[in-house]
Structure 1
Amino acid sequence: MFARVAQEDFSQQALYDELCAHDQRSRAGAIVTFTGRVRDYNHAGAIDGIELEYYPGMTEQALAQLIDKAVKRFSLTNAGIVHRVGRLANHEQIVWVGTCAAHRQDAFLAASFLMDMLKQSVPIWKKEWVGEQAHWVAAKGSDDDAAMRWLTEDKDS
């Protein structure tokens, strides 16, 4: 298992290979990965990138705790997450999540769980840039709803 914060870009293939290399003995039947990228727009129109800030030490710990919860809840054989910080241009990679499980449903659910809960439980803050102006982004109600679903429903719902 791994959980990292990075300023530099990542290779999806290298992360997939790392996830699989650590999972050789389990013979997992399913591997699911997700990569999030910077959109070039928000609800108000075009943007010119984002900037992500984090709390060193605390953010990595929160990511690791989230991975541990997913492993237990979905019987994962391995999982990994990498989240970038700093100034990111439109279309750059922001986040990568990988899950390994005996069955595909657990791998898919765990990847969704990690992304939904990450937005609510990991101390990372986002600014959106339009020209030379930056504005902090408030939490979205839809993100709150997605996280609450995991807190109130059975894992297979």
Structure 2
Amino acid sequence: MTVYRLAYHGYVEDLSGIGARLYGGRWNPKGMACLYTSVHISLALLEKFVHARGREDMAGLMLLSVELPDHDDLVYHVDESRMVDGWMNDIDYSQWLGEQLLVDEAFVAFSVPSAIMPLERNVIINPQARHFDAVKFHKPTPFDIDGRLMDRLV
């Protein structure tokens, strides 16, 4: 499975998950490292865009393609029908769920529905996983954003 990560040029090659560890995110509490990716480049862009506070937050992005192993025992797929109702508005729940999966070093990644596009999925990679070396990271490439989209930001 190929997934995509958009990150600033200075951070795109950091595979330790330090940003997520320092600040936390939807699927990880502070203190737990991980890498956020999406199954589609457009979803990665949408996820980045929804968190942008201005044009400068979308400048200098790089695209990183990541190959995950095609072993079901290494990538866990969260069944959204088993998640609590309203999970997308309950950050404590999603962080708790992510924490349960991140402490299990057997999984190199887990996929979850996107809170902003629930029919598509994000994939959270665990850099602490036993088989993290099975994840292949390609060379990052510059990512340009259409000016019409950038014009929506202040």
TM-score by length of 2: 0.26
Question: Considering only CA atoms, is the larger Rg found in Structure 1 or Structure 2?
Answer: 1
More helix by share: 1
More strand by share: 1
